Structure formats: C-alpha cells, structure tokens
Amino acid sequence: MESTVVNSLALSLRECRSASEGKRIHSQIQSLGHGHDRYLANLLIQMYGRFARSQEAYEVFAGIKQPNVYSWNIMVSAYVQCGLISEAKSMFDRMPERDTVSWNAILAAYAQQGLLDEAEEIFQAIPNPNGVSWNTLVNAYCQFGNIERAAEIWSAMPNKNTVSTSAMVLAYAQLGQLNFAERLFKSLPQKDVSCWTALLLGYARHGQISLCKKFFDRMEERDIVSWTVMLQAYAQSGHIDAAKDIFSRMPDWNLISWNAMLAVYAENESLESTLAFFETLKERDIVSWSTVLGAYAQNRPGKLYDLLETVPELNVVATTTVVQGFGQYGDVVSARLWFKRMPELNLVAWSTMVQDARVGRDCVDDDAGDKCRV
C-alpha cells in the first residue's frame, strides 16, 4: 500500500504541467507523511527546476537528511535550468562525490550561456568524458557560431554519433554552407531522423522550399520535429494551403506544431477562423496566447480587454502586443497603463508610446518611475 502511494505521487510529479500543480502535489506529499522520502524529494527538486523555481528546489534539497549523488546532480541541474551559473558552480564544488552526470551538468551550465572558454576548461577536467560531454561542447560551439572550433572538436571525437554530426550538419546549413552540409550528410554510413531533420531545417532556414519538399518526401522516417519544420517552411514562404495540408497529415501534434499552425491562421485568416482554431488547442502556453493577442491587436483592438481577462500569464512579448493594440486603437490611457506594467521595456514598446507626444510627456511627468524616463 505504501509503495503504491509513493509511486502514484511520483507519477504525478513527473506529469505535472505547472509550478502551482507541483506545489499542490508537494503539499499532498507532506500531508501524507512522505515529506522525508528521498526519492520523492529528488523528484520535487527536478519538478521545481523544470519550472524555474530554484528557491523551492533548494528548500527541498536542504531538507534531505542524506542527499545522494542523484540529489546533488538534480540540484545542480535545477540551477542550470534557471540560468543561475554561480549557484550551480557553488553546488558542484560542494559535492562530496561526482560522477559523469555531475560533470555534464556543470558543463551544460557554461555551454548554454555561451561561456565557451570556461566550458572547454571544464570539459578538459572531466575524468572520463562520454558522448554527452562531447555532444554538449560541439553543440555549444555550433550554437554560438564558432563552426571552426566545433569541427575541430567533432573531428577529435573518439566515437562520433548522430547527435554531434547532426549538430554539425545543422550548423553548416544555418551558415548557408548547404553544399558542405549535404556532403557531410551523405558521408554518414547511418542516418537517423535527427540527421535528416537537421538538413531539412537548413533548407527551410534559407527558403529552399522546393529542396525542402524533395528532401522531406525522401525521408524514410519522420518525427514530429521534421513534420513541424516542413509546416513552418511552407507557412513562412506563403504556401498556406500546403501548410494546412501538412498539418492535416501529421500523425501526431505537439504544442509547437499547434502554435505554428495557429500563427498561420493569425497571419493569413480572419480573426474568427483564428479563434476557432485556438479553441481546438488541447493545451496552450504563452506563445499561444501571445499569437491570439496579436490577432486581436491587428483586427479588433477594442476587444483586447475581453481577452486579457482570460489570459493566465503575460510575458514581455505578449505585453508589447497589448501596448501596440491599444495604441493602434487610440486608447492612450490603456496603452500607457500596460506600458507601465511591463517588467522590462523594448524598442517596440517605446516606439508605440512615442508615436503620441502626449503619451511621451505623460509617461515622464507621472509617477511611472525610472522605467518611463529617457
């Protein structure tokens, strides 16, 4: 009975989709007397890290009487997911023992932030770097545009794999070196779907729609990423009917593919059609809501308040869209109100506000604070 309860709680933690849901499960764990269960505590740290709640993650970690190496690793990873490099490094330095997972976690912390010199120093210090270690460094150099160093590291890999090779194919393709990317792709004795998708994405990024279609049709295996890349390629090139056809043929959809299709409707169809499609989404995130807010701002800005009452959260992009919508509608008071609410300001928001000289003066003259002063 006890193990059944623990397993059920563990499954709930793995499947929860928001920090608030995770907190409810956390409270349930405590009320059921499992607050000191290390297995559940580790999953709690993992959950809080996933939702960028580093403080809550550390509080759980600090409450574990005897944290194991897995506890330490996921706490380091939680800080990495939150972008807290110094905290992750401090935790790593305090670890009583480390394994390859520990080293890879701190390597990823520096690599993801583009701190490539530091990342390479850590890589050199890893006692036995594995495929993940090599892939992390290759991907980092590719991501931040140092294709030459990425190629050097990739060439030195003792056991090249499809992950690192796909990263190289994608990097060359993104730089426009499609011929080189194609040669590297053709040289592979075995190609998995990630390799095919990397070159497909390269063609899409450079508007090579005919090559995209030919290459996509040649793919023996496709995953949701390759389908979505093809969908976005058609949409961005103005082939709306083809994008809709791809979406209808997809064997499965995820939130990214739903959002991609929602953007097609928002940019090319009526507001009513966009809202009808939005209602079919099984789940929504800030991208979904921002897209619909943008559709309202362009087509029916006077109704923005009605939609805002239902939006669960707003980020800088979404709030900028709201400011633009009210500005276009001529509702200066509402535009200024939402401008002040922005957690950080960007050029688009400022440009919207300074279009009306009265708004510019009011923003400086009232109590908006430093954020509204130039």
pLDDT digits (tens, 9 = 90+) for 9-35: 888 888 888 888 989 999 999 888 888
Max CA distance (Å), the chain: 69
Q: Rounded to an integer, what distance in angstroms lies between the CA atom of residue 304 and that of residue 294? A: 10
Look over the chain and give the mean of its residue pLDDT values, rounded to a whole number. Answer: 83
Determine the Cα–Cα distance for residues 100 and 84; give it in Å rounded to an integer: 20
Which amino acid, residue 303?
A: K
Q: Is the per-residue pLDDT at 201 higher than 80?
A: yes
What's the pLDDT tens digit per position in 129-160?
A: 998 999 899 989 988 888 889 889 988 988 87
Tell me how crowded residue 248 is: count the other CB atoms within 10 A of its CB: 8
Give the confidence band of 296 by pLDDT, cuts at 50, 70, 90: confident
Q: Residue 127 corresponds to which tokens in the numbers above?
A: 């006692």
Q: Which of 2-6, 189-193, 236-240, 309-313 has the lowest mean pLDDT?
A: 309-313
What is the pLDDT, as a whole number, of residue 326?
66
pTM of the model: 0.63
Q: Of all residues in the chain, what percent carry a pLDDT higher than 70?
A: 80
pLDDT at 122: 95
Given a contact cutoff of 8 angstroms between Cβ atoms, the answer to whether 175 and 204 are in contact is no
- Is the model more confident about 336 or about 105? 105
The band of 342, judged by pLDDT with boundaries at 50, 70 and 90, is low
The mean-pLDDT minimum among 212-221, 256-265, 302-311 falls in 302-311
Residue 359 has pLDDT above 50, yes or no: no
The answer for residues whose C-beta is within 8 angstroms of residue 200's C-beta and 6 or more apart is 212, 215, 216, 219, 226, 229, 230
CA distances from 305 to 18, 28, 29, 297, 326 (A): 25, 36, 39, 11, 10
pLDDT at 345: 53
Residue 196's contacts (CB-CB under 8 Å, 6 or more residues apart) are 215, 219, 221, 222, 226
| Confidence grade of residue 276 (pLDDT, cut at 50, 70, 90) | very high
The token pair at 156 is: 């030195």
Mean pLDDT of 205-229: 91
Give yes or no for residue 298 having a pLDDT over 80: no
